[in-house]
């Protein structure tokens, strides 16, 4: 997408396409065809294997490591977003914003402390955001997540194969976003940390990974730019080149379906090659790692897109 086309007819058309199943399948065909090579490289890449162990055991160790790392971070989110505590926070929404979110919620804390120039507007919006609205938004997020997790059996989850089918569009209906402040980046980070079984993390790395997997093509996009990117064609950059970011407006429900299908391919591959089953409870932890691998393998290209001189852009979590 192109930033200069925000609110234009082309923009609206492109946005509709991102939610369209037919268009999704066209893009998926290309993504799927790219997957094999990346999966092979992912499994063959060094994961600090211990030479005396068999590949299966090494992979098992690696999976354990991924899950342990996730759990350490997960604990921090569980501690603060316990549904019972959400009722307590209602009595001090200023404290919720100032202490709980700003200082103890990892994704918000790290983003607030980041020196990346691209986050300047977000930081201002966050500082000005009403504590009550922030509380209400997070209350809605946590309530939604708890209910979704309770209702979504593995059986039902395994049946999901359409954008509508994952019901993540309900996040919008349930007021789980706060414009300019709590977008899909933060939202998905929190959800993925709390419930990695059912919620993928739409962090920027995931978007860049899909950009790479879709062969960096503009598929049916009137602006002739990838739907996974936001080309900042009307914003002057320090480097003088037109920079791009991930498309932070991308619908979460569509991203989730790509991620789920990629997971299924990856999971099947692990079972075939290694006779291992990645724990369903942490399924999207695997994809987080896979996405990171894909982007890391093309780091230079991505950094050029981002504008090389701002090295902090690459490291921020949302």
Q: What does the binding site for another protein look like in residue numbers (CB under 8 A)?
A: 82, 85, 88-96, 98-100, 102-104, 127, 130-132
Task: Indicate the residue among 59 and 100 with the shorter CB distance to another protein.
Answer: 100
CB of 130 to another protein, least distance (A): 8
Task: Indicate the residue among 8 and 130 with the shorter CB distance to another protein.
Answer: 130
Contact 269, 39 (CB under 8 A): yes
Where is 255: in which H helix or E strand?
helix 252-274
Contacts of 234 (CB under 8 A, 6+ apart): 2, 3, 4
Q: In whole angstroms, how large is the CA radius of gyration of the chain?
A: 20
Task: Indicate the residue among 94 and 156 with the shorter CB distance to another protein.
Answer: 94
Contacts of 224 (CB under 8 A, 6+ apart): 218
Task: Indicate the residue among 99 and 310 with the shorter CB distance to another protein.
Answer: 99
Contacts of 260 (CB under 8 A, 6+ apart): 160, 166, 200
Contact 105, 134 (CB under 8 A): no
CB of 134 to another protein, least distance (A): 11
Task: Indicate the residue among 90 and 281 with the shorter CB distance to another protein.
Answer: 90
CB of 67 to another protein, least distance (A): 26
Burial 245-261, CB ≥16 within 10 A → b, else e: bbbeebbbbbbbbbbbb
| Count of C-beta atoms within a 10 Å radius of residue 92 | 14
Task: Indicate the residue among 131 and 183 with the shorter CB distance to another protein.
Answer: 131
CB of 69 to another protein, least distance (A): 22
Contact 244, 305 (CB under 8 A): yes
CB of 74 to another protein, least distance (A): 17
199, two tokens = 């919620």
265, two tokens = 């391919």
Task: Indicate the residue among 55 and 98 with the shorter CB distance to another protein.
Answer: 98
Q: Taking the C-alpha atoms of 240, 226, 12 and 7 in order, what is their torsion angle to the nearest 10 degrees?
A: -10
Task: Indicate the residue among 81 and 252 with the shorter CB distance to another protein.
Answer: 81
Distance of CA 263 to CAs 126, 192, 202, Å? 33, 14, 14
60, two tokens = 């098992």
């Amino acid at each position: 997408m192109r930033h200069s086309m925000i609110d234009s007819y082309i923009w609206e058309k492109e946005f509709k396409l991102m939610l369209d199943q037919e268009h999704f399948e066209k893009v998926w065909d290309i993504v799927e065809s790219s997957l094999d090579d990346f999966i092979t490289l992912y499994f063959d890449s060094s994961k600090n294997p211990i030479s005396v162990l068999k590949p299966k055991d090494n992979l098992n160790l690696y999976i354990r490591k991924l899950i342990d790392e996730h759990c350490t971070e997960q604990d921090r989110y569980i501690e603060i977003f316990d549904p019972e505590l959400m009722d307590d926070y209602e009595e001090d929404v200023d404290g919720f914003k100032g202490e709980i979110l700003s200082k103890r919620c990892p994704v918000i804390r790290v983003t607030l402390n980041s020196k990346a120039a691209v986050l300047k507007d977000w930081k201002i919006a966050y500082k000005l955001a009403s504590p009550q609205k922030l509380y209400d938004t997070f209350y809605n997020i946590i309530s939604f997540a708890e209910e979704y997790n309770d209702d979504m059996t593995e059986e039902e989850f395994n049946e999901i194969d359409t954008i509508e089918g994952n019901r993540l569009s309900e996040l919008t209906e349930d007021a789980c976003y706060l414009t300019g402040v709590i977008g899909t980046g933060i939202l998905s980070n929190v959800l993925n940390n709390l419930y990695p079984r059912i919620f993928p993390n739409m962090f920027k790395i995931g978007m860049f990974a899909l950009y790479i997997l879709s062969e960096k093509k503009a598929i049916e996009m009137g602006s002739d730019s990838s739907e996974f990117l936001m080309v900042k064609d009307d914003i002057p950059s320090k480097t003088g080149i037109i920079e791009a970011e991930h498309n932070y407006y991308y619908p979460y429900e569509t991203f989730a379906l790509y991620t789920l299908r990629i997971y299924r391919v990856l999971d099947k591959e692990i079972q075939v090659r290694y006779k291992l089953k990645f724990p369903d409870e942490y399924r999207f932890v695997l994809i987080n790692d896979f996405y990171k691998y894909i982007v890391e393998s093309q780091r230079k290209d991505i950094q050029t897109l981002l504008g090389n001189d701002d090295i902090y852009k690459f490291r921020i979590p949302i």
